[in-house]
Structure 1
């Protein structure tokens, strides 16, 4: 089975520009960043597949890997809440107070023994430092 070549050259180049690099960053630097990102993604997928039942990667396996970083988890939970809110607004739902829980949020709540992963009221030190 031949492995397909994946390239995020244009996206990485635009992200580098967005973070302050020149409009056309050095191609070697872009390729280096791309190889690092792809290497890390492959590592994450391999690690997540260890928790998979049938070699099919589901979001729950990726969430399980992130569970030890409460700041990443909180940002992800906030993202899920915002996505649900956005769907409700786009579908012209008037009552925004009683938003149903996303199945991923329910999964996070099941693995969150202390409640700190879904506590969005705590200050995000990591994001503040950035």
Structure 2
């Protein structure tokens, strides 16, 4: 539980820092399409950073029953941040288009994480 709160806070911090980096240091240095890609990575990282914090809080309060379901959700969301946002950051900086093929794997990890959170709520919420 503490792990996901810390991981969420770190990712929230990184999202703000990387967003500022993109807005102030990348503008005019990368193509507009790559700047838009960078912004997408920042947005998804922040949304899912908040999800990690929420999962950590839910785990500590034991509102949704067995921690294993929430644990699985948290790890999938964390993997999604790394794969989805990470691949978009690298794509934006390098222009290596093959990374666009990796990004959907991160998207699927996000979806699985959200599904696991739904499962926890449906099965265990009072």
TM range (shorter): under 0.3
TM-score normalised over the length of structure 2: 0.28
TM-score normalised over the length of structure 1: 0.27
Q: Which protein, 1 or 2, shows the higher relative CO under an 8 Å CA cutoff with sep ≥ 6?
A: 2
